[in-house]
A and B are shown apart, each in its own frame.
Chain A
Amino acid sequence: MKQWDQGARLWARVFCAMIVTLFFVFPIYWLGAISFKTAEEIFAYPPVWIPANFNFHNYFVLFRDGEAWSIWNSFVTASISTLFAMFFGTIAAYSLVRYKTGGNHLGIWIISQRMIPPICVVFPVFLLFVAWDIVDTYTGLIVLYTAFNLPYVIWMMRGYIQEIPLELEQSALVDGLTRWAVLWKVVMPMAKSGLFATAVFTFIFAWNDFLFALILSRSDVVTFPVKVTGYFGAQSSLWSKVGALSMLGVLPMIFVVGTMQRFIVRGISMGAVKG
């Protein structure tokens, strides 16, 4: 009786997990399916659940017309801004934690910057960028994403650095390291999981951004979310392109999160929410 009970419960759990997984995976599957469908299949009714054959035509069109370039734009702006945000954010967080820079309140103030709705700042930023002449450039988007992600990086890294035993750093200082060397040889390795997890989220924030990219780019550095949205027209939508370009945008993220999963889970569970 008891055995049976245990088994039933396990099955119930597996069943629930399947439902939830299906719920999240289906949209991605549907996107992928669309990207391989022919025009007829896309509009067929009842819907075609599985495309008849793997048809790379939609992808081919994107590359032929150079529209896949928007993925590259997204990649450049997201990765370079992530590097900058991680670098400056980690240093700033270290300063907040170990030198008590700004007392107890600077950290809170910094994270509060992140809570401003982007729509409030996007037009002032646009005017500023016009004045600096960096609208529609990599520089512009990189500067913006770096600034936008810094509070998040500082806040997260502050939590991870607080977890590092002080004596580890002090021992290194006595052993002959400079502060910079301590940061590099002790703090970085100790905060590795947190560092990766934060970098992944920072990258995703920039990768997903639509609003800033829409306002701050025109034709040269259109990122893929903006590009995809452009395929929706008032009269008709280019569903095959939407499907293919979205897949190109989603796959790198699935890959990144998949390979970094170990770090992300450890990073998130590692006292990140400590105040």
Chain B
Amino acid sequence: MPNLKIDNVNKFYGDVHAVKDLSIDVPAGEFVVLVGPSGCGKSTLLRSIAGLEEISDGDIVLGDRSIANLAPRDRNIAMVFQSYALYPYLSVYENIAFGLRARKASDDEIKKQVDWASELLDIGDYLKRFPRELSGGQRQRVAIGRAIVRNADLFLFDEPLSNLDAKLRDGMREEIKRLHTKLGKTFVYVTHDQIEAMTLADRIVLLRDGVIEQIGAPLDLFERPKNIFVAGFLGSPPMNFMDVDVTEHGTSMALPDGQILSLAGTKISGKIKDGAYTWGVRSEHLSKITETKNTVRAVIDVLQPTGSRTYGTFFLGDCHVVSELEAHDVSKEGEILHLAVAIDRTSFFDPETGSAINS
């Protein structure tokens, strides 16, 4: 099974530079997720790999052959589209068999493959039906079935779950991950949903405006974001950012409302230059304690219980902060809490460039 190499690929639509000099190496069998805000060029890149867009510059190599100039049908790639792209005039069976028929497989071979795929995806009962007689989730399975029967070298998914409701989406996400393990094939998966990216990926490629912001394992990106954009994109609720002033040779900092936190005893203590920084704190790293020493004093503004956890928002000066508390930590708005901060798990960013400060 071949690996995929995207080599300095550029794509222009007229004046729009949709993909900018982008390179990614995808080892065989890896599950890579391209994620980023809408319009960042994810689909363009995916469609370029499939051969549905012609790249303006660069090369795409699958195994030992360049596929950049091949017709889509010669690339031996399978793709699942957001709209499912099922043929309304064909039965489910024929929809799944479509790619095999195109490749002149024998009827026995087709039957074998369709049976295998429909069992794997649990759609064996619907083979005689037509797409309009299926629910959204079932259509999605058929679309996946059509892709996997073909024994392709590479599987592409363009936002396959975004037309499903939330509950189905969670179920399908798990199934797609299981499918990847079972097939052991290379998957390149596009989504704008950071949860999908985090849960599915072996490796995340985070894009913005046609450029890679960061590439790495999900927890890597989550815990060691290279810049404010990556830090803010991953995680829900999003990371809290505030302007802080580090003083006393990197051992103390002032929060936007003037509260002082000591950095003593943390990894960063003494290693960071004095000055202004953007400080990034995830809501789960703020926790209620009874002590008051070296804590953030918060007057809870709005409470949002979710059942297991409760989001408590408060203000530090003008800065809006979300903390994730235990369900019964707070009982009503207006309560005053003392929150301990897991400073070692927070990030400091250069306020000018947005890059993370390595300590």
Contacts and interface: CB of A to CB of B under 8 A. Distances in A.
Contacts of B82: 167
B37 interface: no
Given A176-B73, A189-B87, A171 B79 contact: yes
Contacts of A173: 51-52, 71-73
A169 to B, nearest CB: 9
Interface in A169-194: 170-178, 181, 186, 189-190, 192
A175 B98 contact: yes
A172 B81 contact: no
Given A168-B87, A170-B52, A176 B81 contact: no
A186 B77 CA distance: 19
B78 A174 contact: yes
Interface in B57-95: 71-73, 75, 77-79, 81-83, 85, 87-89
B288 interface: no
Contact of A174 (B50, B87, B89): B50
Contact of A190 (B78, B81, B89): B89
A190 B79 CA distance: 21
A174 B103 contact: no
A167 B52 CA distance: 10
A29 to B, nearest CB: 40
Give the one of A170, A173, A174, A175 with max B CB within 10 A: A174
Contacts of B52: 170, 173-174
B99 interface: yes
A176 B72 CA distance: 7
Contacts of A186: 87
B183 to A, nearest CB: 17
A27 interface: no
B73 A189 contact: no
A176 B105 CA distance: 12
Contacts of A177: 73, 102
A181 to B, nearest CB: 7
Nearest to A168: B85
B34 to A, nearest CB: 17
A189 B87 CA distance: 9
Given A172-B98, A189-B89, A178 B83 contact: no
Interface residues of B, number: 24
B104 to A, nearest CB: 9
Contacts of B77: 174
Give the one of A176, A177, A178 with max B CB within 10 A: A176
A167 B81 contact: yes
Interface string A92-128: 0000000000000000000000000000000000000
Interface residues of A, number: 17
A165 B83 contact: yes
Nearest to B143: A171
B146 interface: yes
B150 interface: yes
Given A170-B81, A174-B50, A181 B102 contact: yes
B85 A178 contact: no
Contacts of B51: 173-174
Contacts of A181: 102
Contacts of B98: 172, 175
Give the one of B51, B72, B75, B150 with max A CB within 10 A: B72
B103 A176 contact: yes
B102 A176 contact: yes
A165 to B, nearest CB: 6
A165 B131 CA distance: 15
Interface string A242-253: 000000000000
B83 A175 contact: no
A88 B87 CA distance: 25
A174 B143 CA distance: 13
Contacts of A175: 73, 78, 98-99, 102, 146, 150
A170 B87 contact: no
A185 to B, nearest CB: 8
Nearest to A170: B52
Interface string B31-54: 000000000000000010011100
Given A181-B102, A189-B89, A190-B89, A174 B72 contact: yes
Nearest to A165: B83
B73 A165 contact: no
Contacts of A190: 88-89
Nearest to B52: A170
Given A178-B73, A189-B89, A190-B89, A171 B81 contact: yes
A201 to B, nearest CB: 23
A32 to B, nearest CB: 39
A187 to B, nearest CB: 11
A-B residue pairs, 5 tightest by C-beta: A175-B99, A176-B102, A171-B85, A167-B85, A173-B72
8 contacts: A170-B47, A170-B52, A170-B79, A170-B85, A173-B51, A174-B79, A190-B88, A192-B89
